[in-house]
């Protein structure tokens, strides 16, 4: 029985091929993640989709890139080689926002780091050419390729790099989710079409020596982007404007004497198509070969979760989702999700808890408005920023109906929602039914939300609503919990040093945290990852939508100061917090009153009058040692121990999906 289970995974060796009676693969898939046959992993979906169309696919996961042995162990594939760096850009996977090397990798056996190379897509493509020659079709995809498809700013090199299609010397780049693209490419290759003639498929990029001037938009070239930051900002804006599968135009970017051609995006999968993808025969686990190493940690996040939707019309500037999955939300049917949940209850290690029902944004179940179904998302408008569009359909009825059905399944004790809830969407729903049931049934004591900041100056550069919207949501959350007799708390995701954020903005955020008794566990420095508008601002100091200058905190020291202010309670941050408060003239926040963030430094000479009259904000005398009065804010006060841990997942939030 054990051997039969191994055969059910796609082949990873010549022996596996022999068991299936295969003499040659159609496609070899090289991937920078461990082989996990679960639909939360891109390589699992693409390989199973190909299999469902009759193609023979073999998986080489985390190959030793120092030599070609792993690349050739299943022989030369008939049609081509697929390459993906994995679920996360390899540089984001390897380095923190401070450019420090990470020691672990949740997508590798036992969580061990260092099992994939930096810039994995490029390294793998070089080895493939060495193994099979320059005539082998190489098809690159996944997050790393998708977000680096144009000339892009690279944070780790601190320079503009060419499109990854040029640097990898691959044949075709597939951007976005890829299910439709890969099948169309595979069919053409099977029918004998040369790979350099496959140029008409949406959601793909290719290199050409010419382009159609009548039906294309020429964006600033690679060379122009290097020479001019304003040209780079224009390039980023035009890229975002044309990411429309229905009316978007072909984009062209010159690199030297060649052109990168990006066809318009592939239309998103419709509900029945999504259902078919998630109904494929996944093993829902990592390959047994990893058992001896302790398995693959990433499976724990998704094994008992349901991926209910794709896409996000929230369009935060620091998030790459709009550039990868797109702004049009599509969802699986209730029937598909219920069937998967019922199958989940039969798993031997299922304890009755569905950990999540969501996606990029849990409470989006369809397009923002009907117009998106035929015209796509608006080119120069956002659905929720600066305020909800009047044409947006704000309703949680479909999502609520799904959650009720899931709760009723035999064997299900609790259904949680852990992926992001867009509070600005929820608070504008006139029907409170979902909000009440969310608090009553789907929160496990804490609800994680992402206000990111409280300074309206910073929020506008993030593409997030004004802080008053979060305050309104927070007040309502606690009122509902009071009515239903529960003590539950909001745990906010916060970001420091985003473009536009000054020290004064960081101090305002620290004051807010103090006032509301929030000791944040989830704090993350802004991470300039490829393919986001915020990264464009970071590099250029320009908002590409307005072409106006933006203040950017860039030095490591200023970043440390802004982060320290978010965790001002940590004694290790005292000097940085003191420096910030004195620098901007906010010494009123250094003292013994409740409103103060920190006490005066030891040895600071106080006048006799100050010593005699040290009182808190309520007028009560403070003892010789001083004290912080207990704040009555309702948001959970996290321990200092958890505060020091920071963002434990180690991965930038905008690259998690």
Alpha carbon distance 618, 624 (integer Å): 17
* 3-class DSSP state of 41: coil
Alpha carbon distance 241, 220 (integer Å): 14
Non-local (6+) Cβ contacts of 143 within 8 A are 42, 85, 86, 87, 88, 89, 320, 324, 655
Residues tagged in the binding site annotation: 312, 316, 319
Distances (CA, A) of 48 to 80, 88, 187: 16, 20, 15
Return the number of other C-beta atoms located less than 10 Å from residue 522's C-beta: 19
Distances (CA, A) of 494 to 331, 497, 561: 28, 10, 15
Beta carbons of 76 and 56 less than 8 angstroms apart = no
- In DSSP notation, 244-303 reads -TTTPPEEEEEETTEEEEEPPPPPPPPHHHHHHHHTS---SEE-GGGGGGT--TTHHHHT
Tokens of 77: 């594939």
Per DSSP, what are the bridge partners of residue 598? 590
Peptide bond into 573 cis (omega under 30): no
Alpha carbon distance 527, 98 (integer Å): 9
Distances (CA, A) of 83 to 126, 201, 262, 473: 11, 18, 19, 43
Alpha carbon distance 33, 290 (integer Å): 12
Find the Cα–Cα–Cα–Cα dihedral 564, 566, 569, 570, rounded to 10°: -40
Alpha carbon distance 598, 511 (integer Å): 11
* 3-class DSSP state of 599: coil
Residues tagged in the binding site annotation for [4Fe-4S] cluster: 312, 316, 319
Q: What single-letter DSSP state applies at residue 104?
A: B
* 3-class DSSP state of 103: coil
Distances (CA, A) of 80 to 317, 622, 639: 36, 74, 53
Tokens of 443: 């929160």
**What 3 state SS string does 519-544 have?**
CCCCEEECCCCCCCHHHHHHHHCEEC
């Amino acid at each position: 029985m054990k051997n039969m289970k191994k055969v059910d995974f796609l082949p990873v060796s010549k022996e596996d091929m022999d068991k299936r009676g295969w003499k040659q693969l159609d496609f070899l898939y090289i991937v920078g993640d461990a082989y996990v046959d679960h639909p939360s992993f891109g390589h699992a979906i693409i390989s199973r989709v190909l299999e469902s169309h009759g193609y023979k696919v073999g998986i080489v996961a985390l190959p030793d890139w120092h030599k070609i042995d792993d690349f050739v162990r299943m022989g030369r594939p008939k049609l081509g080689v697929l390459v993906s760096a994995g679920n996360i850009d390899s540089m984001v996977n390897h380095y923190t926002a401070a450019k420090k090397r990470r020691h672990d990798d949740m997508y590798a056996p036992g969580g061990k780091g260092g099992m994939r190379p930096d810039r994995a897509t490029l390294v793998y493509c070089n080895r493939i050419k060495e193994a099979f020659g320059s005539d082998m079709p190489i098809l690159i995809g996944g997050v790393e390729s998708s977000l680096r498809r144009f000339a892009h700013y690279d944070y780790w090199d601190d320079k503009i790099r060419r499109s990854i299609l040029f640097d990898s010397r691959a044949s075709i780049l597939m951007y976005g989710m890829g299910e439709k693209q890969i099948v169309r490419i595979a069919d053409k290759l099977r029918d004998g079409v040369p790979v350099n003639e496959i140029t008409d498929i949406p959601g793909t990029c290719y290199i050409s020596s010419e382009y159609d001037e009548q039906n294309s938009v020429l964006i600033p070239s690679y060379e122009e982007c290097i020479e001019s930051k304003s040209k780079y900002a224009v390039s980023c804006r035009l890229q975002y404007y044309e990411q429309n599968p229905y009316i978007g135009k072909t984009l062209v970017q010159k690199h030297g004497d060649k052109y990168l051609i990006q066809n318009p995006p592939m239309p998103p999968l419709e509900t029945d198509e999504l259902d078919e993808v998630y109904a494929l025969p996944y093993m829902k686990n990592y390959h047994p070969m990893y058992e001896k190493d302790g398995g693959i940690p990433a499976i724990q996040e998704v094994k008992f979760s349901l991926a209910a939707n794709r896409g996000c019309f929230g369009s935060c500037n620091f998030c790459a989702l709009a550039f990868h999955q797109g702004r049009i939300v599509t969802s699986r049917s209730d029937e598909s999700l219920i069937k998967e949940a019922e199958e989940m209850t039969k798993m031997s290690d299922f304890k009755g808890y569905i950990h999540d029902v969501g996606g990029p944004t849990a409470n989006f179940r369809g397009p923002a408005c009907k117009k998106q179904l035929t015209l796509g998302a608006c080119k120069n408008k956002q659905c929720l920023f600066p305020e909800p569009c009047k044409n947006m359909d704000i309703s949680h009825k479909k999502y609520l109906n799904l959650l009720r059905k899931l709760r009723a399944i035999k064997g299900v004790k609790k259904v949680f929602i852990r992926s992001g809830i867009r509070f600005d969407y929820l608070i504008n729903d006139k029907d409170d039914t979902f909000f009440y049931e969310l608090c009553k049934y789907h929160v496990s004591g804490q609800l994680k939300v992402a206000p990111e900041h409280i300074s309206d100056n910073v929020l506008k550069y993030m593409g997030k609503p004004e802080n008053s919207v979060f305050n309104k949501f927070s007040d309502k959350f606690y009122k509902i919990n009071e009515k239903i007799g529960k003590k539950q708390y909001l745990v906010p995701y916060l970001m420091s040093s985003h473009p536009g954020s000054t020290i004064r903005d960081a101090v305002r955020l620290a004051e807010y945290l103090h006032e509301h008794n929030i000791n944040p566990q989830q704090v993350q420095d802004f991470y300039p990852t490829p393919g986001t508008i915020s990264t464009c601002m970071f590099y250029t100091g320009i908002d590409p939508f307005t072409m106006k200058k933006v203040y950017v905190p860039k030095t490591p020291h200023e970043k440390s100061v802004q982060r320290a202010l978010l965790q001002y309670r940590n004694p290790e941050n005292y000097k940085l917090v003191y420096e910030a408060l004195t620098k901007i003239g906010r010494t009123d926040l250094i003292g013994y009153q409740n409103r103060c963030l920190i006490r005066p430094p030891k040895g600071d000479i106080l006048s006799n009058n100050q010593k005699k009259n040290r009182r808190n904000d309520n007028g009560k005398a403070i003892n010789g040692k001083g004290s912080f009065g207990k704040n009555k804010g309702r948001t959970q006060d996290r321990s200092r121990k958890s505060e020091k841990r920071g963002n434990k997942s180690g991965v930038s939030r905008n690259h998690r999906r």
